[in-house]
Amino acid sequence: MREALERFLASKMPTASAITVDGLVQHTEGFSLQTFSFDVDWREAGKACHRRLVIRRQPSAGLLEPYDLEPQFRALHAIADTPVRFPRVLWYEPDPSVLSAPFYVMEWVAGEVPLPALDANGTPPFADDARRVTIGRDFAEILADVHRIDIDVCGLQFLGRPRDAREAAQRAVDVWEGYTERARLGPMPMMTEALCWLRNNLPADGEVTLVHGDYRTGNFITSDDRIAAILDWEMVHLGDPMEDLAWAMSKIWRGESSRVGYLVEPEEFLAWYEQAGGARVSHDRLRFYSVLAGVKMAAIMLTGVKAWHDGRTRDMRMVFFDQQVPGMYAVIAEALGLIQL
Amino acid sequence: MLNLPELLQGVLDSLEADVAPNVTDAKSKAQLYACLDLLSNLAVKIDWKAEPLCDECDGIGAALRRAKLCIEGMGRRPEPLAGLAASIDTLFSEDEPESENRTASSAEPVDWFQRRRRYAGVFEELVRVAGAGAGMESEAERVAYAELRSCVHEHLVNQTIREALYLKPMRLSEMSKA
């Protein structure tokens, strides 16, 4: 892989010479795209240069198949000049012969990725209260920045703009029903119930903005008590901003904690989001998207199980979901108001 | 839920082909092969425990019986209600008598996993019918559909609680930051 990468970089950096790649590491965070980081050294205009970069490569099979990296690469490229903090993308390579699968290269952002789970010792993320609140506020404000991005100015129409929030919701239900049906290995009554409920309760109005699609604890890098970058834009699209809020606030990412992603209480989170210029919060639409959040996550898990079942991947991190899906059904049941967790 | 022999065989293949070659510590490798040996022998002898699968079928059975009564009380039976009623009848008529087959000594042991699939399949049909609310014309029909939805919800709630009892915490941290 190292030599192939050096050849690729040489083709993208025509004024560079003596390009060498070192310290190539595959990261295990994230269950979808494969992530590698590496150091690149080169000479340019008589000077020695160095940079650390990241590759995000399409897996052979996985949680969000079928994969297409191009829309997220184009979207990230389009919003490069906005205040949203994320790793800047450099090059996209659709040709699978270069590194065995399509990939894109982005800058390395130093820091840590806090996970939405207790660690092996039972300690929650963000144990320090002051740090937790600072990062929580940052988390709400950056989401407001994402939703304030001007779709036309940034040229994001290629993502497909729904006419209104109702059509956005209809599309979201279609997308996740599609995932669910493609992953079907047997009866799924809870998914069917939730999808029926979603179709019967489509929101009547609301705005359409850029939607990150996977905005949550676990998908950002922290550094010096702030969020240095928002990661994992695989599900970026144009839709209802309540989709991101409901996803970020879902029980999925907070375990037994009442705090959004182990960070701050829901009321605080929504208030900071609105104060930072986010969309006006609609509790009806939040409820709709909290049901969709459970469906979305269960559909992702089922997609991984199906890929493993069909022999398209042997990654054991796809099949453990087979026994964890009922936990997601409980999240759906709570969002539907059937139980209280 | 995958069937157990298939699941275990996949786990064995994965450990043998992808994990074992990358384990470099001799003691860990020895432990891994001992696990592989044990698992491959267990895989041909074990199956899913009958009790949770039977409990789920019992819960579905109760919901379907209630739904059937409700459909019969409606008088008019347009599609998809007639189809659902027929599916319920077929399921119950083809189902093995439970008490005789729960023992290991019975001549043809019940495949609990497949039985659960059949029950869940008909229950999913009920979910679809109740969710769509098709053919609602009169107040009586609206009441009947509310009753169908109540059958659905009661079982979904009970089943969610039952499954939660078996659920172990996800080892997300360990899997992500190995």
Residues A200 and A87 in one domain: no
Q: Does the residue A119 lie in any domain?
A: no
Q: Does the residue A30 lie in any domain?
A: yes
| pTM exceeding 0.90 | yes
* Closest residue, chain B, to A189 (C-alpha): B124
Residues A327 and A227 in one domain: yes
| Tokens of residue B32, six digits | 């891994």
Q: Does the residue A116 lie in any domain?
A: no
Q: Are A51 and A9 in contact (CB under 8 A)?
A: no
Q: Does the residue A123 lie in any domain?
A: no
DSSP secondary structure letter of residue B22: G
Question: Smallest Cα–Cα separation from A93: which of A207, A218, A159, A8?
Answer: A8
Binary contact (B173, A200; C-beta < 8 A): no
Residues A164 and A276 in one domain: yes
Helical axes B50-73 vs B112-132, angle rounded to 10°: 30
Q: Does the residue A324 lie in any domain?
A: yes
- In tens digits, chain A (341 residues) has pLDDT values of 899 999 999 999 999 999 999 999 998 777 888 999 999 999 999 999 999 999 999 988 888 888 899 999 999 999 999 999 999 999 999 999 999 999 999 999 999 999 998 887 888 899 899 999 999 999 999 999 999 999 999 999 999 999 999 999 999 999 999 999 999 999 999 999 999 999 999 999 899 999 999 999 999 999 989 999 999 999 999 999 999 999 999 999 998 899 999 999 999 999 999 999 999 999 999 999 999 999 999 999 999 999 999 988 888 888 999 999 999 999 999 999 999 88
With a CB cutoff of 8 Å and minimum separation 6, the contacts of A204 are A166
Binary contact (A309, B2; C-beta < 8 A): yes
Residues A220 and A272 in one domain: yes
Phi and psi dihedrals of A112, rounded to 5?
-125, 160
Residue whose token pair is 């209260």: A129
Residues A85 and A185 in one domain: no
Q: Give the span between the Cα atoms of A251 and A117, in whole angstroms.
A: 11
Binary contact (B157, A308; C-beta < 8 A): no
Binary contact (B117, A186; C-beta < 8 A): yes
Residues A102 and A135 in one domain: no
With a CB cutoff of 8 Å and minimum separation 6, the contacts of A181 are none
Domain end among A74, A107, A140 = A107
Q: Does the residue A70 lie in any domain?
A: yes
End-to-end CA distance of chain B: give it in Å, rounded: 26
Q: Give the span between the Cα atoms of A239 and A14, in whole angstroms.
A: 39
Binary contact (A324, B167; C-beta < 8 A): yes
DSSP secondary structure letter of residue B171: -
Q: Which of A33, A121, A126, A192 to mutate to test the interface with B (most CBs of B within 10 A)?
A: A192
- Residues within 8 A of B (CB atoms), A 8-47 only: 28-31
* Closest residue, chain B, to A32 (C-alpha): B176
Domain total in chain A: 2
With a CB cutoff of 8 Å and minimum separation 6, the contacts of B76 are B135, B141
What CATH number does the domain containing A55 carry? 3.30.200.20
- Considering only CB atoms, B177 lies closest to which of A28, A187, A333, namely A28
Binary contact (B177, A327; C-beta < 8 A): no
Binary contact (A186, B13; C-beta < 8 A): no
Q: Are A44 and A12 in contact (CB under 8 A)?
A: no
> Which residue range is the domain that position A28 belongs to?
2-13+20-107
Binary contact (B177, A115; C-beta < 8 A): yes
Q: Any CB–CB contact under 8 A between A120 and chain B?
A: yes
What CATH number does the domain containing A175 carry? 3.90.1200.10
Q: Is A5 helix (H, G, I), strand (E, B) or coil?
A: helix
Tally of helices (H runs) and strands (E runs) in chain A: 11, 9
Domain coordinates in residue numbering, chain B: 4-46, 50-166
Which residues in chain B touch residue A326, judged by CB atoms under 8 angstroms apart? Answer: 160, 163-164, 166-167
Q: Does the residue A267 lie in any domain?
A: yes
